[in-house]
Amino acid sequence: METSLQKQSQRKTRLWKKVGLWSGGVLILLLAIVLIGGNLFLSRGLPKTTGEIELAGLTAPVQVIRDSSGVPHIKAENEKDLFIAQGYIQAQDRLFQMDLSRRQASGRLSEVIGEATVNNDKFFRTLGLRRAAEASYEQYSESGKDVLGWFADGVNLYMDELQESNKWPIEFTLLGYKPEPWIPVDSLTIGKYMAHDLGGHWENQAFRQYLLQNFPEEKAYDLFPTYPEQGPYIIAKNELDIEKSFAHAVIPHEFNGSNNWVVSGEKTVSGKPLLADDPHLSLATPSIWYQMHLEAPEVNVSGVIFAGIPGIILGHNDHIAWGVTNTGPDVQDLYIEKRNPKNKNEFLYMDNWQEATVINEPIKIKDGQTIDYQVTITRHGPILSEFAAELGSNTALSLRWTAHDPSAELEAVLNMNKAKNWEEFEIALEKFETPAQNFVFASADGTIAYKGNGKIPIRKGNGLIPVPGWNDEHEWTGYIPFDELPRVVNPKEGFISTANNKVISDDYPYHISNHWAQPYRQLRIQEVLSKKDQLTVEDMQALQMDQKNLQAQEFVPKFLAALEGVSDEQQKQALDILEKWDFVDSKDSAAPVIFNIWMTKVPEVLFTEHIPEETLKLFQGQKPVVDEMLRKALRGDSGPWIKEAGGIEKVLVDSLSLAINESIENQGKNLEKWEWGEFHQVRFNHPLSSVSPLQYLFNSEGGIPVGGSSVTVQAAAFTKEGTVNHGASWRFVIDVADLSTGYHLVGPGQSGHVKSKWYDDQMKDWVEGIYHQTKTVNPEGDRLTLVPS
């Protein structure tokens, strides 16, 4: 029989089980409440996309239809209402991105983030994008200022709604602030940021000065794109330490570029031109691009724009289509300035001390004290070499840059949006000065055309290195005349393509750049377009997703020949895999793992022990330079860097060994089972996802395996960790036979709201090359009517 003690123990056990079950149930319930509550809290900030909203300032109702991909089609009875609506709708989907963009470009991130971004803010205060935007505003016509003002009104109307409802996007809540009202200069500042992001090569000039300071002339010149025409002025290291001066500089991504091409109707099924464009920029959430369709009585234009800017910068209207790639011209020069030892604000010019302009730029820091910061501006531009710290030197580097000059790119964009033919479009381009771009064009009348457009300086030197600023021997003497910029109309080849490649012949009378992208994307595009007639939209899409690696096709046979006698078994196996490769960077293949990582290890073997990592970031032209070093060495003409590393065979063996060892750590010892997509994955990270655990909120779970690489037409540049963070931020194809329908991809999606169905719905489509159609006639979807209040 059970004792009373046993019964009591059993009763206690049953009781604790009940308590445990009850407690577990309560915890599950509480967790469910938290999850549901969190979900509801996130969802409450979603914009209204159906029904009716009253907006002050409108003169007539405006229809906004968001199609199945979240693309807003805005139809207004006049342009004032159109641009008020554009500002309002952009803010609905991208307000946090817009605010972050203007803060980044203005050097005001520390106000909302804290000390972590102080160096970033110092750099952009020094660079002066905001000052350049303020100066540019006065260049605009009254109609241009009206558009900027109407757009700002629309943004502010949405912020007024949020102020009343307190349903701010979650990012503002997490950072604990509310955005300031939008003003026209904010839009222009974002435009100037794109001029910075698409570069001008000052960092390469600084890097070459570093080489001259720290290495023998032969080794320094070995890393120059070309040899200087005359001996450079070398700044002694005790006069100016390049390494320290630019340690915190914000350098644009090395692979900022693009592909574009246009094909004559003589080579297409439809008999009309085809146009394709895919700008290569950083891949993030939300996308740098925002796709829209704008319609009013005198304009009907569809395409993409940077969030925070009115109009459509790339796309098509009822008559024409256009796209761009980055020209990459030398539009920046570093000048060596001599400071007056008795007055730090005076600099020597033509035997006289000239007073520089000193601007106070106090930097507010969240939860910290305001930093007193000053920017010194010489006759050439801001002193860039001291943004990180006062180095106490009488030598400094100032920056001369075309983007510092007042310009009116938005006027160009608005005129492009209304152009009906090549003549009107080219006239519109005259005001598009920075950044310099390669425009391709197609029109309903069958014209195809190209223009390398922008404000490109004529200089006495060659833009390779910093030049003395104390005399007039290195001043800019003007700009390449607009009518003499590179231009092609209806070529006999039947197509025009650019991929950041050299766009001029050797007999072109002006200097454009010392830096051109590796030629492989352009070569592949030309190879495909020249071999086939009867081309279609589908052919253009397939070419944008093309993964053929012509760099591998050039170098692998030469590497195999150079390493024919290698004895290491793993290296022999790796070389055997490469020998059987079809040179396609497929995500399922092992060969792309070996080759692409191998190529990243060559500069590591050559430079890591000799050049600090922070300074190497200034070497933006590294890849084409290394390619040429390899070509010469494989021909038996090794330069000093390869010689000192033990010769070409040792460099190849050492770098291959590093690549194999790293890949074994990632994917195991069986080389045959390696897959490029196991390492090479796209993620589209949100700017706040670097703060744990916010990555679980803002980023889609895990990465997606993707093919391609930095040298394939399907551009997919990757970090050391394998994250694909750079590539086609927007893909676009159109057949001019039907200008009412464009084919687009905006990865990862249209919306910046994490709970939106359009937040990351194009992420897998981006990997697989599945385009969505955007129609400018009778679009269907969620309908919102904006009415005058």
| Closest alpha carbon to 287 in 547, 98, 102 | 98
Query: How many Cα neighbours within 13 Å face the side chain of 279?
Result: 29
Tokens of 283: 């891949």
Contact 448, 440 (CB under 8 A): yes
Tokens of 524: 């592949």
Model confidence over 393-443: pLDDT tens digits?
A: 789 999 999 999 999 999 999 999 999 999 999 999 999 999 999 999 999
Model confidence over 353-403: pLDDT tens digits?
A: 999 999 999 999 999 999 999 999 999 999 998 765 555 578 999 999 999
pLDDT at 164: 96
CB contact burial 648-678 (16+ within 10 A = b; e otherwise): bbebbbbbbbbbbebbeeebeeebeebbbbb
| Residues 687, 97: Cα–Cα separation, whole Å | 9
pLDDT band at 1 (very low <50, low <70, confident <90, very high): very low
517: Cα separation from own chain's centroid: 15
Contacts of 785 (CB under 8 A, 6+ apart): 51, 52, 53, 61, 62, 63, 64
**CATH of range 550-583+590-674; options 3.40.630.10, 3.40.50.2300, 1.10.8.50, 1.10.1400.10:** 1.10.1400.10
Lowest mean pLDDT among 28-37, 122-131, 314-323, 638-647: 28-37
| Residues 723, 703: Cα–Cα separation, whole Å | 8
Distances (CA, A) of 32 to 25, 36, 632: 10, 6, 65
Contact 747, 707 (CB under 8 A): no
Mean pLDDT of all residues belonging to the chain: 93
pLDDT at 334: 95
Task: List, as one string, the DSSP characters of 31-95.
Answer: HHHHHHHHHHHHHTTSPP-SEEEEETT-SS-EEEEE-TT--EEEE-SSHHHHHHHHHHHHHHHHH
333 is in an annotated binding site: yes
pLDDT at 279: 96
Residue 481: is the preceding peptide bond cis (ω within 30°)?
A: no
330 is in an annotated binding site: yes
Scanning 166-183, the segments in alpha helix (DSSP H) are 170-175
| Closest alpha carbon to 103 in 193, 200, 216 | 193
pLDDT at 62: 98
Model confidence over 278-291: pLDDT tens digits?
A: 999 999 999 999 99
Strand (E) or helix (H) holding 396: strand 395-401
What is the average pLDDT across 81-89?
98
Query: Is the pLDDT assigned to residue 616 strictly greater than 60?
Result: yes
Backbone φ, ψ for residue 773 (5° rounding): -85, 140
| Residues 524, 536: Cα–Cα separation, whole Å | 18
Residues in the chain: 789
Coil/strand/helix, residue 251 = coil
pLDDT at 300: 98
More confident of the two residues 702 and 581: 581
**What CA dihedral angle connects 106, 107, 113 and 116, to 10 degrees?**
160
| Closest alpha carbon to 151 in 179, 184, 191, 103 | 184
Query: Is the pLDDT assigned to residue 205 strictly greater than 90?
Result: yes
| Closest alpha carbon to 600 in 677, 674, 560, 655 | 655
Q: 627's torsion region: left (phi>0), alpha (psi -120 to 50) or beta?
A: alpha
pLDDT band at 22 (very low <50, low <70, confident <90, very high): low
CATH number of 257-330+409-458+480-544: 3.60.20.10
| Residues 751, 90: Cα–Cα separation, whole Å | 9
Model confidence over 650-665: pLDDT tens digits?
A: 999 999 999 999 999 9
What is the average pLDDT across 25-29?
54
Contact 410, 148 (CB under 8 A): yes
| Closest alpha carbon to 550 in 518, 575, 580 | 518
| Residues 415, 318: Cα–Cα separation, whole Å | 14
What is the average pLDDT across 171-189?
97
The question of whether 258 is a catalytic residue gets the answer yes
Residue ranges of the chain that CATH labels 3.60.20.10? 257-330+409-458+480-544
Query: How many Cα neighbours within 13 Å face the side chain of 382?
Result: 26
Lowest mean pLDDT among 18-27, 171-180, 650-659: 18-27
Share of the chain above pLDDT 90, in %: 85
pLDDT at 717: 96
Of 258, 287, 700, 729, catalytic: 258
pLDDT band at 521 (very low <50, low <70, confident <90, very high): very high
Query: How many Cα neighbours within 13 Å face the side chain of 153?
Result: 16
Report the first-to-last Cα separation within the chain, whole angstroms.
85
Residue ranges of the chain that CATH labels 1.10.1400.10? 550-583+590-674
